[in-house]
Amino acid sequence: MDVRLMDGLNMSRRIRRTPYTDRFEQVGVRGFSVVNHMLLPKAFQTSVEEDYWHLREHVQIWDVSCQRQVQIEGPDAASLVQWMTPRDIGRAKVGDCLYVPIIDANAGLINDPVLLKLAEDRFWLSIADSDVLLYAMGLALGRGMDVSVSEPDVSPLAIQGPRAEDLLAGLFGDHIRDIGFFKYGWIDFAGTRQLIARSGYSRQGGFEIYLEGGHLGAALWDAIWQAGQPLGIAPGCPNLIERIEGGLFSYGNEMTRDNNPLEIGLEKFCCLDGSVDYIGRAALQKIAADGVTQQIRGVAFDGGPCPTCSKPWPVMVGDSQVGQITSAIWSPRLKRNVGQSMIARSCWKAGQRVHVVSQDGMIRDGEISDLPFA
Amino acid sequence: MDVRLMDGLNMSRRIRRTPYTDRFEQVGVRGFSVVNHMLLPKAFQTSVEEDYWHLREHVQIWDVSCQRQVQIEGPDAASLVQWMTPRDIGRAKVGDCLYVPIIDANAGLINDPVLLKLAEDRFWLSIADSDVLLYAMGLALGRGMDVSVSEPDVSPLAIQGPRAEDLLAGLFGDHIRDIGFFKYGWIDFAGTRQLIARSGYSRQGGFEIYLEGGHLGAALWDAIWQAGQPLGIAPGCPNLIERIEGGLFSYGNEMTRDNNPLEIGLEKFCCLDGSVDYIGRAALQKIAADGVTQQIRGVAFDGGPCPTCSKPWPVMVGDSQVGQITSAIWSPRLKRNVGQSMIARSCWKAGQRVHVVSQDGMIRDGEISDLPFA
């Protein structure tokens, strides 16, 4: 195994365990990532390729507790949330999940959470890897807003794959079949009412249960694990092959504060007509008027399975760097490497021939692709 | 090796490499932690015990780039910094490093950085593991303050141990011997001027070079590594044995937002007389008036080398839990386990007999100790 794919992770309380970590250890987790100061199981007894095929065909249980919730509650809650995102949340209804980019004053991306509207004055931001809690607290303190900002004891568990709906309908009732994409409903579990959304970080369908009460974690796992046996359930995680092919982006990888949402193709989540006020609006409107100079694209490339991408790889046309790959892996289905890359306007058309300089120093032929990959 | 001591860490761009990561890989780093979305080398070819003795006797080079700098600059910079901390920074001078707890409106700890005053209107906060950048940005945006908040390209490299001063004086000049504890000066390196502070996360003395310009990282490493050969230099990191014995606390381990600075023994960094205004002042004054109900202490305990502490361990007196250990390890010098623990007032006197329930389920005899350990 490439040493850079997986070195050791030193454990401490600071890197928080989740309500499901014990169970994942029991089924043989052997690698983690760290997101929001919390463990994200990322490697199992099986290979990433085996996990990929399994996810596409069966059902998996993922510990995504690291998708922490930032709860914003109170009379000014809706104002604060709207101030944080260029997306117009004015027409959102209770029961909706909304993908909401969060940007700074220069329109640089701070996070790209899913917003859950729980009530007119109560929201959860289900966050990617940055302390949105501290940002929201700072904004509220600075502006003197009447809100409470907190991290509730909520630990999402994702059930992903084509058999997810059958599994969960069997356990919790057929009413979950009626939950629309990016909507949420409720299930009863162990005498409690728990939020369940049709969402998740794959293109294979499925749900996320926002378990409230960490002490129920093992019991929830056990119930799903047991019911999933006939369906071939396996432990899993966001699968790098599947997410790259599917055009799902990762905050900190494909986008950082150096990127604006238009570069990431998030125009449809950005209100640019001036009807909504938010941090970074003037900067974003100017970028939109000028046109972006780079945008995210796929790159398919050759040369056999590429190494792990742990730093940006130059994408070249002739002697000029025209972009950088930030995530890449071998696709066993497409029989090529697939990557996601920020690409300069002059070269971002699908089919453009490029060279990729991968982390092992190899120069690989490839071409620009639209996302998702076919 | 205990599976919980070190499982695999999956690498990606999101977990940022540092200017020194290549060099640490060359000398055989085999484990990391993740702090501020960045790699912190934490394990080498040698054991933690070997590293401990080496640190006490020789000199080590540590990659502490993850101590990211939050730069606050502009007309309102001093006001913003003061608003963030209960410590009175009014008399700080350019050239000073100050340990400044940062607290929220409830006096809960958000971070415990070192503040470097670079100019009357320019500061660096050298942070522990939370996004102080976003918090400061939020406060400034919310209050409409005239400051710029950014993360400069600064990557601290620590040189720690009794031979650190000789090593660096030989390389950069005897003037560094005149730098006082928690003061900083300047060195010339490769045609640049670089900040050097007499500080670091050990009790063995040493310096931290706040290298500005990541492209210089390999050259700085090489210069120090080569000059350190006659002194027996080795790669190292904050050493768990040394820091626990020395009473150095770790944000996220010993303290979280659930703790106030008085529980951590940080009274001397808290202005409680009302002469300085800061977030959380009313809450902190009330806590001070009421008296804290728990405070951090050492615990020495038996039963042979304890496992890795990756979640709080109950500390018991009879059938009552009186505290929790958040960091612990076997001390080869004291021939006992040593831990740091939040302990209830009724039992926090040195010598109090306790039982520790370690992560392996074992019940161990021990007693409360003052910090640092003798």
pLDDT digits (tens, 9 = 90+) for B355-366: 999 999 999 999
At B3, the pLDDT band (50, 70, 90 cuts) reads: very low
Task: State percent of chain B over pLDDT 70.
Answer: 98
Residue B276 contacts A where some CB pair is shorter than 8 Å: no
Token duo for residue A159: 């059930």
Q: How far, in Å, are A131, B89, B109 from residue A138 at the CA level?
A: 11, 20, 14
- For residue B182, the 8-state DSSP code is T
Strands B31-35, A6-10: pairing kind: parallel
Residues A289 and A323: beta-carbon distance below 8 Å: no
Torsion, Cα A84 A86 A90 A95, to 10 degrees, reads -80
At B287, the pLDDT band (50, 70, 90 cuts) reads: very high
Token duo for residue A98: 């909304």
Let me know if the fold of B69-150 is the same as that of B293-374: no
Spatial CA neighbour of A85 closest among A270, A272, A248, A287: A270
pLDDT at B1: 34
Chain A, residues 278-317, CB within 8 A of chain B, namely 279, 308-312
pLDDT at B2: 39
Spatial CA neighbour of A369 closest among A217, A230, A245: A245
Residues A105 and B141: beta-carbon distance below 8 Å: yes
CA dist B131 and B137 (Å) reads: 10
Beta bridge partners of A96: A183
pLDDT at B296: 98
Chain B, residues 133-162, CB within 8 A of chain A, namely 134-145
Residue B31 contacts A where some CB pair is shorter than 8 Å: yes
| Residue contacts between A and B (CB atoms, under 8 Å) | 192
Distance from CA of A140 to the nearest CA of B (A): 7
Among the partner residues A12, A30, A252, nearest to B13 by beta-carbon distance: A252
A324 contact partners, CB below 8 Å, separation of at least 6 = A312, A313, A314, A315, A341, A342
Here the ipTM equals: 0.97
Token duo for residue B149: 């908040």
Query: Which of these CATH numbers, 2.30.110.10, 2.40.30.110, 3.40.50.1100, 1.10.1740.10, describes A293-374?
Result: 2.40.30.110
Distance from CA of B25 to the nearest CA of A (A): 9
CB contact under 8 A, B34 and A15: yes
Exposure string of B331-360, with b = 16+ CB inside 10 Å and e = fewer, is beeeebbbbbbbbeeebbeeebebbbbbbe
Class of domain A21-67+153-243: alpha beta
Q: Is the pLDDT reported for residue B115 higher than 70?
A: yes
Q: Which is the CATH superfamily of the domain at B69-150?
A: Aminomethyltransferase beta-barrel domains (3.30.70.1400)
Q: What value does the mean pLDDT take over residues B82-109? A: 98
CA dist A268 and A253 (Å) reads: 21
CA dist B284 and B293 (Å) reads: 13
Among the partner residues B30, B132, B143, nearest to A8 by beta-carbon distance: B30
- For residue B222, the 8-state DSSP code is H
Residues B206 and B200: beta-carbon distance below 8 Å: yes
Determine phi and psi for A22, rounding to 5 degrees.
-55, -45
CB contact under 8 A, A8 and B3: no
For the stretch B15-68, pLDDT in tens is: 999 999 999 999 999 999 999 999 999 999 999 999 999 999 999 999 999 999
Exposure string of A226-259, with b = 16+ CB inside 10 Å and e = fewer, is ebbeebebbbbbbbbbbbbbebbbbbbbbbbbeb
Beta bridge partners of A117: A123
CB contact under 8 A, B134 and A129: no
pLDDT at B374: 86
pLDDT at B7: 73
CA dist B271 and B100 (Å) reads: 11
What's the half-sphere exposure (Cβ side, CA atoms, 13 Å) at B15? 28
pLDDT at B6: 53
Residue B21's SS3 state is: helix
CB contact under 8 A, A9 and B104: no
CA dist B51 and B234 (Å) reads: 9
CB contact under 8 A, B32 and A10: yes
Distance from CA of A32 to the nearest CA of B (A): 5
Spatial CA neighbour of A123 closest among A184, A214, A179: A184
Nearest chain B alpha carbon to A22: B4
Determine phi and psi for A267, rounding to 5 degrees.
-55, -40
CA dist B212 and B155 (Å) reads: 7
Determine phi and psi for A108, rounding to 5 degrees.
-75, 140
Residues A350 and A368: beta-carbon distance below 8 Å: yes
Residues B9 and B34: beta-carbon distance below 8 Å: yes
Token duo for residue B49: 């015990």
Degrees (nearest 5) of the Cα angle B363, B365, B367? 135
Chain A residues within 8 A of B143 when measuring between CB atoms: 142-143
Among the partner residues A8, A34, A141, nearest to B31 by beta-carbon distance: A8
Alpha helices in A85-172 (DSSP H): 132-143, 164-172
Degrees (nearest 5) of the Cα angle A151, A156, A190? 100
Q: Where are the domains of chain B?
A: 21-66+153-243, 69-150, 293-374
Q: How far, in Å, are A93, A180, A191, A298, B247 from residue A177 at the CA level?
A: 20, 8, 21, 33, 55
Residue B285's SS3 state is: helix
For the stretch B189-210, pLDDT in tens is: 999 999 999 999 999 999 999 9
Among the partner residues B8, B129, B252, nearest to A32 by beta-carbon distance: B8
Q: Where are the beta strands (DSSP E) in B223-352?
A: 234-236, 294-301, 313-317, 320-331, 336-344
Best A11, A240, A306 member to test B by mutation, with max B CBs in 10 Å, is: A11
Query: Which of these CATH numbers, 1.10.10.10, 3.30.565.10, 3.30.1360.120, 3.30.160.100, describes B21-66+153-243?
Result: 3.30.1360.120
Q: Is the pLDDT reported for residue B319 higher than 50?
A: yes
CB contact under 8 A, A141 and B136: no
Q: What value does the mean pLDDT take over residues B256-270? A: 98
Cα A35 from chain centroid (whole Å) = 11
For A342, the enclosing helix (H) or strand (E) is: strand A336-344
Chain A, residues 211-270, CB within 8 A of chain B, namely 250-253
Q: What is the CATH number of domain A69-137?
A: 3.30.70.1400
Determine phi and psi for B186, rounding to 5 degrees.
-135, 145
Residues B55 and B204: beta-carbon distance below 8 Å: yes
Distance from CA of B185 to the nearest CA of A (A): 31
Best B11, B145, B313, B324 member to test A by mutation, with max A CBs in 10 Å, is: B11
pLDDT at A7: 73
Among the partner residues A137, A139, A252, nearest to B104 by beta-carbon distance: A137
| Intervals of chain A under pLDDT 50 | 1-5
For the stretch A111-123, pLDDT in tens is: 999 999 999 999 9
CA dist A43 and A30 (Å) reads: 5
Among the partner residues A7, A134, A279, nearest to B30 by beta-carbon distance: A7
Task: Give the other-Cβ count within 10 Å of B329's Cβ.
Answer: 23
Residue B345 contacts A where some CB pair is shorter than 8 Å: no
CA dist A168 and A234 (Å) reads: 15
Nearest chain B alpha carbon to A240: B12
Residue B361 contacts A where some CB pair is shorter than 8 Å: no
Residue A62 contacts B where some CB pair is shorter than 8 Å: no
